[in-house]
């Protein structure tokens, strides 16, 4: 009996030793890129900087970057995810609810998980997925049919499956989840189908919902008076979340940009500011209660979701005073710097050509230029529905204090018509056309948040949806709309290197990590991941 | 969220149309027109739904009034197209063009067709307007060096083998009288100046920040790395010369368009 007991104890000790400590802790996530060999969250750190401390690849040697390996999914559908990197292993999601673990040294697949995609999916823009989140030894994944999954990091096995909403009503989940402490936070997409958007937190261990914040305020709730009273407009009011938010641990606040109101272009049935659509919301990470909000585009009629990454920074000198700010390059064409504590505007200036607002008032409200409402016969407005920028991630380099963003110079003719709401049916009540004489193009722009003025730009021949990555060695990595991935000198915008990938980068940017003392630059584009490094 | 412009606009339009089509509601998806009369024909509600579907999925390329934009003028195409063919084109797309296939349920396509059949169309006349034979001679004398018809002619300009089915008379007049008003992608004028001063003029086939691909006036395809050339000059004027009334009388224009409207596709099947 005593011998049997000893055996059990020994086995338990051995098992415990084999399982080891959790792979990723909450502190690891808090530390962001303190260990720059890893990349643990969507934007690299909670502040949304997408700025790596790695310095092996420099402006002097970047021209020698060489492709090391390519991973192909073997199926159609583009990557939009930022891969997570944990100790030499990549965790990445792709089109049609797929997720992979891949050897970061060689590009070889370790495991693959696929969640079924229903045949009767209702989505506006494909079965896309923008990435995973990690904590402990779990990988968290949203699905296009509105589920949140936890997978075993070692095997890809499903641990729990939480249904978020009814995909048949147009709900979908495309953004990478955000893990904060013991919660995994997700957002709901589907404004083009008349959903009522929300941000929701789940327990990381069980998947049980902990709190929900509706991005469309209901009757009797704060902001509920910004929707027509006595109607059900708020139930179909949109407010999608489809890009991952950021987190300020000091204030325990999560920041999310919210999507357009529904329907997109016809607004007679939703008179009012339509809170909290096209806004930045600061939510208590433990309760989901809104601390403050800032609405960029009240009563939007141009489909200008504010679902861009809110980038946080400390010690930004404004009029000689260091300020804690959130920076937001908005789809409506303005770059905003907002006090992160009070939610009050510091300043806002256009970062692309725009024709709809004279300026942003000191209170943060756009002063409208008349004649920009969509009509039956069409109204020309800049930017187009794709906006001044969009879901592509910006980057902030705290050492130079510059904000880098992919800008879009576009205009469109906006049309609108009345269309009744039908459950599960696309509901935009309008559309756009590109004017024939309109030359659209894109650019990488560096903006100084102290003044909201542009420091430099590099123009592309076409519009781009590429995110931006910066490194402490003074490099900016970005892509154009024609399939080139490029490196620039961060202080000047001088182009230093390019490589034709064959398909443009979309939504995500390159990631960088270190394995075996070698810095890799990894680019998702099309259905491939391509890893670059300096020759050995 | 939605339809975020990514690639060049045309590619985006195509991909978004495919994506939207793939995201349709439940229902049967047939390869060919379902048997029996279209139940939506003449139904006010169906026509309205069809209009909405058209504006989402078709209007970007074919224009909201269906008179053609980047894609063909449907008011000119539809009269000669039976329902079977129309269903097939929408379902399967048109290979070799930007027209994508659709995975939408049959019911949605039938509503779309009910709307299209409600449009005010411009049927091609049984007998073409103008002197077709004279129009053909004018075409041979002025156009064939750059335009191809049924495998004969130049390739610097667009192939016109199906232009009679794809363009309304109004669109043809505009494109002959004032071709520089809008030059389609793939035919914009560009001149590459090499480092030794040589000038290569032609149609820009593609371009990015670092390179440009050109078909020169002798139809030679060539790519150039921009850092290896002196200059790339962009010209808003089309390579196609304008034909104002002084150069091409209204009567001759009428004859030329009469000929062009007879060009409705060639059978390229190898027997």
Q: Give tens-digit pLDDT for B48-70.
A: 888 888 887 888 788 888 888 77
Taking the CA of residue A121 and the nearest CA in chain B, the distance in Å comes to: 6
Nearest to A522 by CA among A103, A111, A130: A103
Kindly determine whether residue A425 and residue B19, on different chains, have CB atoms separated by under 8 Å.
no
Q: Could you tell me if A89 and A110 are in contact, meaning their C-beta atoms sit under 8 angstroms apart?
A: yes
ipTM score for this prediction: 0.83
Q: How far apart are alpha carbons B107 and B43 in whole angstroms? A: 13
A76 DSSP 8-state letter: S
Kindly determine whether residue B1 and residue A433, on different chains, have CB atoms separated by under 8 Å.
no
Q: How far apart are alpha carbons A55 and A149 in whole angstroms? A: 35
Catalytic annotation on A303? yes
Q: Is A67 on the interface with B (CB under 8 A)?
A: no
A5 belongs to a structural domain: no
Q: Is A391 on the interface with B (CB under 8 A)?
A: yes
Taking the CA of residue B1 and the nearest CA in chain A, the distance in Å comes to: 6
Q: Is A462 on the interface with B (CB under 8 A)?
A: yes
A16 belongs to a structural domain: no
Q: Which residues in chain A show pLDDT less than 50?
A: 11, 16-17
pLDDT value for B124: 60
- The dihedral region occupied by A404, where left means phi > 0, alpha psi between -120 and 50, and beta the remainder, is beta
Taking the CA of residue B29 and the nearest CA in chain A, the distance in Å comes to: 12
Q: Could you tell me if A278 and A297 are in contact, meaning their C-beta atoms sit under 8 angstroms apart?
A: yes
- Mutate one of A124, A239, A505 to test the B interface: name it (highest B CB count within 10 A): A124
pLDDT value for B13: 35
What tens-digit pLDDT sequence spans chain B (271 residues)?
554 433 333 333 333 333 333 333 346 889 999 999 999 998 988 888 888 888 878 887 888 888 887 778 888 788 878 999 999 999 999 877 778 898 888 988 999 999 999 887 666 665 678 899 999 999 999 999 999 999 999 999 999 998 887 787 888 998 999 999 989 889 999 999 999 999 999 999 999 999 999 999 999 999 999 999 999 999 999 999 999 999 999 999 999 999 998 998 877 777 6
A413 belongs to a structural domain: yes
Of B1, B6, B26, nearest to A191 by CB-CB distance is B1
Q: Is A334 on the interface with B (CB under 8 A)?
A: no
Which residue in chain A has the smallest CA separation from B180? A437
A363 DSSP 8-state letter: T
Q: How far apart are alpha carbons A390 and A260 in whole angstroms? A: 12
Q: Is B208 on the interface with A (CB under 8 A)?
A: yes
pLDDT value for A425: 84
Q: Is A77 on the interface with B (CB under 8 A)?
A: no
Of B8, B23, B182, nearest to A121 by CB-CB distance is B23
Q: How many domains is chain A built from?
A: 1
- Mutate one of A386, A424, A486, A488 to test the B interface: name it (highest B CB count within 10 A): A386
* Chain B residues within an 8 Å CB radius of A123: 19, 23
Q: Is B209 on the interface with A (CB under 8 A)?
A: yes
This prediction's pTM: 0.88
Taking the CA of residue B188 and the nearest CA in chain A, the distance in Å comes to: 12
Of B8, B20, B210, nearest to A498 by CB-CB distance is B210
Query: Using CB atoms and an 8 Å cut-off, which of residues 251-270 of chain A contact chain B?
Result: 259-260, 264
pLDDT value for A376: 86
A9 belongs to a structural domain: no
CA-based radius of gyration for chain B = 21
A12 belongs to a structural domain: no
pLDDT value for B70: 72
Nearest to B187 by CA among B145, B161, B215: B215
Taking the CA of residue A250 and the nearest CA in chain B, the distance in Å comes to: 31
Of A126, A260, A465, nearest to B19 by CB-CB distance is A126
Taking the CA of residue A522 and the nearest CA in chain B, the distance in Å comes to: 20
Of B4, B16, B209, nearest to A465 by CB-CB distance is B4
Nearest to A111 by CA among A75, A158, A67, A149: A158
Query: Using CB atoms and an 8 Å cut-off, which of residues 225-244 of chain A contact chain B?
Result: 240, 242
Which residue in chain A has the smallest CA separation from B26? A120
Q: Is B234 on the interface with A (CB under 8 A)?
A: no
DSSP code per residue over A81-138: PPPEEETTEEEEEEGGGEEEEEETTT--EEEEEE----TT---SS-S----EEEEBTE
pLDDT value for A313: 98
Please give the residue range of the domain that contains residue A351: 21-533
Taking the CA of residue A237 and the nearest CA in chain B, the distance in Å comes to: 13
A13 belongs to a structural domain: no
pLDDT value for A7: 54
Q: Is beta strand A528-533 parallel, antiparallel or unpaired with respect to B199-207? A: unpaired
Q: How far apart are alpha carbons A444 and B249 in whole angstroms? A: 50
Per residue, the 3-state secondary structure of A181-207, as one string, reads CCEEEEECECHHHCCECEEEEEECCCC
Contacts of the segment A113-120: beta carbons below 8 A, 24+ positions apart: A113/A141, A113/A151, A113/A156, A113/A157, A113/A158, A115/A141, A115/A143, A115/A145, A115/A147, A115/A149, A116/A145, A117/A144, A117/A145, A118/A145, A118/A167, A119/B26, A120/A168, A120/B25, A120/B26
Kindly determine whether residue B23 and residue A119, on different chains, have CB atoms separated by under 8 Å.
no
* Chain A residues within an 8 Å CB radius of B22: 121, 126
- In a 13 Å sphere around the CA of B27, the CA atoms on its Cβ side amount to 17
A7 belongs to a structural domain: no
Kindly determine whether residue A460 and residue B2, on different chains, have CB atoms separated by under 8 Å.
no
Helix (H) or strand (E) holding B110: helix B106-116
- Mutate one of B2, B70, B71, B210 to test the A interface: name it (highest A CB count within 10 A): B2
* Chain B residues within an 8 Å CB radius of A464: 6
pLDDT value for B48: 84
3-state secondary structure at position A495: strand
- Mutate one of B5, B61, B227 to test the A interface: name it (highest A CB count within 10 A): B5
pLDDT value for B7: 34
* Chain B residues within an 8 Å CB radius of A432: 60
Which residue in chain B has the smallest CA separation from A465? B6
Of B56, B64, B181, nearest to A426 by CB-CB distance is B56
Query: Using CB atoms and an 8 Å cut-off, which of residues 49-88 of chain B contact chain A?
Result: 52, 55-56, 59-60, 63-64, 69
3-state secondary structure at position A483: coil
The encoded tokens of residue B235 equal 């010209």
Taking the CA of residue B73 and the nearest CA in chain A, the distance in Å comes to: 16
Instruction: Please tell me which residue in A145, A248, A273, A303 is annotated as part of the active site.
Output: A303
Spatial neighbors of B142 by CB under 8 A, at least 6 apart, are: B243
Q: Is A303 on the interface with B (CB under 8 A)?
A: yes
3-state secondary structure at position B11: helix
Q: Is B250 on the interface with A (CB under 8 A)?
A: no
The encoded tokens of residue B270 equal 């190898």
pLDDT value for A2: 57
* Chain B residues within an 8 Å CB radius of A437: 182
Taking the CA of residue B75 and the nearest CA in chain A, the distance in Å comes to: 19
Q: Is A246 on the interface with B (CB under 8 A)?
A: no
* Residue A259 belongs to domain with CATH number: 2.140.10.10
Q: Is B4 on the interface with A (CB under 8 A)?
A: yes
Structural domains in chain B, sorted by start: 9-116 (1.10.760.10), 132-176+245-260 (1.10.760.10), 188-235 (2.30.30.100)
Cis peptide before A276 (omega within 30 of 0): yes
Kindly determine whether residue A126 and residue B22, on different chains, have CB atoms separated by under 8 Å.
yes
């Amino acid at each position: 009996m005593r011998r049997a007991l000893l055996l059990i104890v020994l086995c338990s000790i051995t098992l415990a030793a084999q399982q080891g400590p959790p792979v990723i802790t909450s502190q690891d996530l808090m530390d962001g890129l303190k260990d720059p060999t890893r990349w643990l969250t969507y934007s690299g750190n909670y502040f949304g900087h997408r700025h790596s401390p790695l310095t092996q690849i420099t402006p002097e040697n970047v021209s020698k970057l060489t492709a090391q390996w390519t991973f192909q999914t073997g199926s159609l559908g583009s990557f939009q995810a930022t891969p997570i990197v944990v100790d030499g292993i990549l965790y990445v999601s792709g089109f049609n609810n797929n997720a992979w673990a891949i050897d970061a040294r060689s590009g070889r697949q370790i495991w693959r998980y696929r969640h079924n995609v229903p045949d009767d999916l209702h989505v506006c823009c494909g079965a896309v997925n923008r990435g995973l989140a990690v904590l402990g030894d779990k990988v968290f994944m949203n699905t296009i049919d509105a589920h949140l999954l936890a997978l075993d990091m070692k095997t890809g096995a499903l641990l729990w499956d939480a249904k978020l909403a009814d995909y048949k009503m147009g709900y979908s989940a495309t953004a990478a989840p955000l893990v904060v402490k013991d919660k995994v936070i997700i957002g709901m997409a589907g404004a083009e189908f008349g959903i009522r958007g929300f941000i929701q937190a789940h327990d990381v261990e069980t998947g049980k919902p902990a709190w929900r914040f509706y991005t469309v305020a209901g009757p009797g709730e704060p902001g509920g008076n910004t929707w027509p009273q006595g109607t059900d407009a708020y139930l179909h009011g949109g407010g999608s979340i489809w890009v991952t938010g950021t987190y300020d641990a000091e204030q325990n606040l999560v920041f999310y940009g919210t999507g357009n109101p529904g329907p997109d272009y016809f607004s007679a049935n939703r008179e009012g500011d339509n809170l909290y659509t096209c806004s930045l919301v600061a939510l208590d990470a433990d309760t989901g209660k809104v601390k403050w909000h800032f609405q960029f585009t009240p009563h939007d009629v141009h489909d200008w979701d504010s679902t861009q990454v809110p980038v946080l920074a400390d010690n930004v000198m404004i009029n000689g005073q260091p300020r804690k700010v959130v920076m937001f390059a908005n789809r409506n064409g303005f770059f905003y710097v907002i006090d992160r504590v009070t939610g009050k505007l510091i300043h806002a200036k256009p970062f692309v050509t725009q024709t709809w607002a004279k300026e942003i008032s000191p209170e943060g409200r756009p002063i409208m230029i008349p004649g920009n409402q969509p009509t039956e016969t069409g109204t020309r407005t800049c930017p187009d529905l794709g906006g001044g920028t969009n879901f592509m991630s910006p980057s902030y380099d705290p050492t130079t204090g510059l904000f880098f963003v992919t800008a879009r110079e576009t205009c469109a003719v906006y049309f609108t018509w009345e269309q009744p709401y039908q459950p599960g049916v696309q509901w935009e009540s309008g559309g756009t056309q590109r004017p024939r004489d309109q030359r659209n193009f894109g650019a990488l722009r560096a903006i100084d948040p102290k003044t909201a003025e542009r420091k430099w730009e590099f123009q592309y021949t076409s519009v781009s949806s590429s995110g931006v990555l910066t490194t402490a060695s003074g490099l900016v990595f970005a892509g154009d709309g024609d399939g080139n991935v490029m490196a620039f000198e961060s202080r000047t915008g001088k182009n230093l290197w390019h490589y034709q990938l064959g398909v443009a980068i979309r939504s995500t940017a390159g990631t960088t990590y270190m394995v075996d003392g070698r810095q890799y630059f990894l680019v998702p584009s099309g259905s491939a991941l391509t890893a670059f490094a300096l020759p050995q | 969220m939605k339809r975020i412009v990514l690639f060049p606009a045309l590619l985006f339009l195509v991909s978004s149309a495919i994506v939207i089509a793939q995201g349709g509601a439940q229902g049967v998806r047939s390869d060919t027109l379902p048997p029996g009369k279209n139940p939506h024909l003449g139904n006010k509600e169906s026509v309205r739904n069809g209009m909405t579907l058209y504006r989402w999925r078709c209007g970007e390329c074919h224009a909201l009034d269906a008179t053609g934009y980047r894609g063909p003028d449907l008011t000119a195409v539809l009269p000669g197209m039976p329902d079977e063919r129309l269903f097939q084109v929408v379902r399967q797309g048109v290979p070799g063009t930007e027209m994508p296939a659709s995975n939408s349920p049959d019911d949605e396509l039938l509503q779309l067709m009910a709307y299209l059949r409600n449009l005010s169309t411009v049927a091609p006349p049984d007998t073409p307007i103008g002197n077709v034979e004279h129009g053909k001679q004018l075409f041979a004398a002025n156009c064939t060096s750059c335009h191809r018809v049924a495998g004969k002619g130049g390739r610097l300009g667009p192939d016109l083998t199906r232009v009679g089915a794809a363009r309304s008379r109004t669109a043809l007049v505009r494109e002959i009288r004032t071709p520089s008003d809008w030059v389609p992608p793939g035919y914009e004028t560009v001149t590459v100046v090499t480092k030794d001063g040589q000038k290569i003029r032609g149609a820009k086939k593609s371009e990015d920040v670092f390179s440009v691909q050109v078909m020169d006036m002798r139809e030679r395809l060539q790519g150039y790395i921009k850092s290896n050339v002196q200059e790339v000059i962009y010209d808003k004027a089309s390579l196609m010369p304008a034909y104002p009334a002084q150069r091409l009388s209204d009567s001759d224009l009428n004859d030329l368009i009469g000929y062009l409207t007879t060009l409705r596709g060639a059978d390229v099947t190898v027997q």
